[in-house]
Amino acid sequence: MILNISGVVLLGVIVFLFFRKDGLKASHAIVVTLFGFYLASTGIAPSITAGGESLASLLGGIKF
């Protein structure tokens, strides 16, 4: 659950930065958000979640 909230916050910040700095239009942000909601209700959502968790554990294992 914490990973999901952190991911949502991170992606929200990225979309906000694109909106402010790179000229992302509000309509583009709305379309991306709706796409995410519709994608979450499909059969591929568990695979995307597993891939995200795998990437998070890979990044978490990197020692600086």
DSSP class per residue in the chain: -HHHHHHHHHHHHHHHHHHHHS---HHHHHHHHHHHHHHHTSTTHHHHHHHHHHHHHHHHT---
pLDDT above 50 (res 1): no
**3-59 confidence digits (pLDDT tens):** 556 777 777 788 888 878 878 788 888 878 877 887 788 888 888 888 888 988 888
Q: For residues 39, 42, 47 and 48, what is the CA-based torsion angle, rounded to 10 degrees?
A: 10
pLDDT value at position 18?
A: 80
User: What pTM did the predictor assign?
Assistant: 0.56
